[in-house]
Amino acid sequence: MTDLDLCYRTATELIALIHKGELSARQLMEAHLAQIDRLNPKVNAIVTYLPERAMEAARAADEAQAHGEPLGPLHGLPIAHKDLEDTAGVRTTYGSPLFRDHVPEKDALIVERIKKAGAISVGKTNVPEFGAGSQTYNEVFGETLNPYDLTKTCGGSSGGAAVALACRMLPIADGSDMGGSLRNPANYCNVVGFRTSPGRVPVWPTATAWSPFSVQGPMARTVEDAALLLSAIAGPDPRSPISIEQPGDLFRRPLARDFRGVKTAWCPDLGGAFPVDPRVTAVLESRRDTFTDLGLIVEEAAPDMTDADECFKVWRAWQFELARGELVEKHRDQVKETVIWNVQEGQKLSGPQLGRAEIKRTALYHRVRQFMEEYEFLLLVVSQVSPFDVRQRYVTEINGVPMSTYIDWMKSCYYISIVGNPAISVPCGFTPEGLPVGIQIVGRHHDDWGVLQLAYAFQQATQVWKRLPSL
């Protein structure tokens, strides 16, 4: 088996080989480091790179296995952590010039769990500044390019992670998502990104531990690999008061399920809630029959998403002001304009505005909950447009409809974020220009497992994930 063969194997296959003693962590790491050396200079996905440290850790992993020590579920798998997540002793910039040389003393909880499960970090993946915006560029490391077309964006904010997966530089990666940051880049890079239920993957450190808006989750090439990574990072932790009590190892069960007779709502634009580029819609429509072939009852229907836009923007602005307000006040000249705008919007908010937004969000949650008592899943677009020019910072219009803010083109994702339902982006097809398009599968409240099962069934029926970049 060549190094390149190893890079093309799924994480699930690689773990099986390691556990059977047919593959060493050193062999696996050498193969992926060689792939990084070949391709990363072309796409700029991994921005802090630690090959020597990774090889040292791989040798230690092999020694532990030779001595009969128990192996974690991710033993020996190479990974890189999103540059928003603190990594002890490793530079973490958050994509900001203000933190260009910042080295945290402690790991974030998600990093802590991934290490404990046996994965080995090769460094950090690129992000937009403070994760703001679904376009991965910053003033520290520059732009991350889409491997299917190097002139196009890879999305964001987990853009470096998605590109590293698409280029087979990594078998798994972590990410986070407030308004689409796991789903959008996965959609743009023909990989899988799973926005888990709030609390499924406990978030720490955070100044707003009760907040359900920004979540962490797995990215991978396949649904099985995403489930594998989720099994290692999910589960309760006392540092997160909203953490879900179910253990992570529930996600290591077989994903196969009989979907005959399951009612599903087909709503690419959530019932006309936002404009969608017709090329994106066409890709989804070409796969609609796949769901009926799987036995699902697919009906055109959509929940009432009234007030979703207002609720998300109010709570996003409040979160940004809490997290970045003091920084903007002290270093305004070194923070990008969209972050400043978000903070300013938060500063304008009043207590009554927040209260009204929460009342509306509660009503929205119940409308969606009641709708999904009839329909187990929603099927819709991930992003409203296909990958655009990497020099364009955000989408300003769709189908002639102007976007009023830099995030409006991601309503298809953040309308789901605001109600807290689990949602996954799974490869669906390609535009005539050869650009990837994913489909977003949304499940009922806390039904992360059901979402993974339907995503797996769709993946197995289509096999779109196997189409590699020409790079």
Of 96, 134, 176, 181, the active-site residue reads 181
- CA dist., res. 426 & res. 273, Å (int): 22
Structure tokens at 36: 């990084």
Find how far residue 216's CA is from the centre of its chain.
8
Do you know the residue count of the chain?
471
Q: Are 359 and 306 in contact (CB under 8 A)?
A: no
Alpha helices of 234-350 — where are they, by DSSP H? 278-286, 288-293, 308-331, 337-348
Contacts 24+ apart (CB under 8 A), 461-464: 461/290, 461/293, 461/294, 462/287, 462/290, 462/427, 462/428, 462/429, 464/190, 464/427, 464/428, 464/429, 464/430
- The DSSP annotation for 133-197 comes to SSS-EETTTEEPEETTEEEEE--SSSHHHHHHHHTTS-SEEEEEESSSTTHHHHHHHTSEEEEPP
Of 157, 243, 386, 412, the active-site residue reads 157
- CA dist., res. 383 & res. 438, Å (int): 8
| Chain position carrying tokens 């001595």 | 67
Of 82, 115, 124, 411, the active-site residue reads 82
116 is catalytic: no
Coil vs helix vs strand at 402: strand
181 is catalytic: yes
User: How many CB atoms sit inside 10 A of residue 5's CB?
Assistant: 9
Catalytic residues: 82, 157, 181
